[in-house]
Amino acid sequence: MDDLFPPFAPDPNEPRPRRFKPVPFRMIAPNMITLMALCLGLTAIRLAFEGKFEPAVIAVVVAGVLDGIDGRVARLLKGTSRFGAELDSLADFVNFGCAPALILYGFVLFHLKSLGWIIALIFAIAMALRLARFNAMLDDPNRPEWKKDFFVGMPAPAGALTAMLPLYLHFLGFGLERWAAPAILIYVLCIALLVVSTVPTYSGKTMGKRVPRSLVLPIFLFGVAAFGILISYPFEALVAVSGGYLLTIPVVAAQYRRRLKAEQAGGVEERPAALASE
C-alpha cells in the first residue's frame, strides 16, 4: 500500500497561493453611496405599500441626488470600476424603474386595474432597456467627444422624477383622484416612451470642470437659495423642475441637430459657453 500512496513532499520553489490585495477606500466610497441610494429606493417601495406616498416620493428624490453624486465622487477619487458601474445600473433600475412604477400604481393607476398595471410594467421595463442601452454605448470608441453633452433619450433619474409629477400636484392640493387616472396613465406612458426614445437630452456631464472665477460667488448664492427653496417648498420646487425639464427637451434636441449638421458639414462647432463649463 505504501507503494500506491508514496509520501508527497511539497516543492519548496512552488509559488505561494495568490492572496487578494486590500481594496483601497477610494474604491469603496462611491459604492457605499450607491448602496445608500438603493436602500432608499427599496424603502420607497415599502412606504408605497403602506400608503405613505409623500415620504416614498422624497426617498426616490434623495436617491436621485445620491445617484448624481456617486459617479462624481468615483471620478474625483479615481475610484471608478466596472463593478461600480454595474452596481449603479442595478440600483438605478430599482430606484428609478421599479420604485416609481409601484408608487404610481399604488397611488392612482390601480383604479384602472390590469391596464394600470400594464403601464407600470411598461415604465419599469423601459427603464431597464434604457440602462442596458446606456451601458452598451459606453463601450463605443467611435462616439464623438461633443456627444458627451447629450443623453440618448431621457435619463433614468429624470424619467423617474418627471413621471411622479402627478403626485407632486396632488400633494399641493390638486385633487388627482380616480377621475384623473386615464390622464396620468397617458402621461406615464409618454414618459416611458421618452426614456427609450432616441430624443437627445442634455447630460450635464461636462458641467463643472472649469468655472470662471467671477461666477464662483454667484454659484454659491444660487446653490444656497436653491437648497433653501427645495427644503421650504419641496413639491413646488419639484413641479417647477419637472416642468422646466420637459420644456427644455425640444430646445436641446434642436441644439443637438444643429451640432450634428455642423459635424457632417466638416467640423463640429465650438461648444457654447453654457456647455463648456459627468
- DSSP structural state of residue 278: -
Average pLDDT of 98-111?
Answer: 93
152 strand-pairing partners: 200
Q: Does the domain spanning 25-276 belong to CATH 3.40.470.10?
A: no
> What integer pLDDT is reported at residue 123 of this predicted model?
95
> Does residue 149 have a pLDDT over 90?
no
pLDDT 10s digits, 196-255 = 998 888 876 656 566 777 777 888 888 888 888 888 888 999 999 999 999 999 988 888
Is the pLDDT at 170 greater than 70? The verdict is yes
Quickly count: other Cβ atoms within 10 Å of residue 27's Cβ.
16
* Confidence at residue 276, expressed as pLDDT on a 0 to 100 scale: 39
Query: Sorting pLDDT into bands at 50, 70 and 90, what band is 2?
Result: low
Average pLDDT score over residue span 265-272: 54
Listed residue (237, 154, 246, 162) closest to 203, CA to CA: 154
Residue 259 has what pLDDT? Answer: 82
Banded pLDDT at 176 (limits 50, 70, 90): confident
Of 7-11, 53-57, 74-78, 237-241, the least confident: 7-11
CA distances from 63 to 10, 37, 39, 94, 237 (A): 54, 4, 9, 10, 17
Q: pLDDT tens-digit profile of 121-132? A: 999 999 999 988
| Mean of per-residue pLDDT scores for the chain | 83
Query: What's the confidence (pLDDT) of residue 20?
Result: 62
**Domain boundaries, given as residue ranges, for the chain:** 25-276
17, pLDDT greater than 90: no
Name which of 1-10, 178-187, 261-270 the model is least confident about. Answer: 1-10
Q: Tell me how crowded residue 26 is: count the other CB atoms within 10 A of its CB.
A: 14
Does the reported pTM lie above 0.85? Answer: no
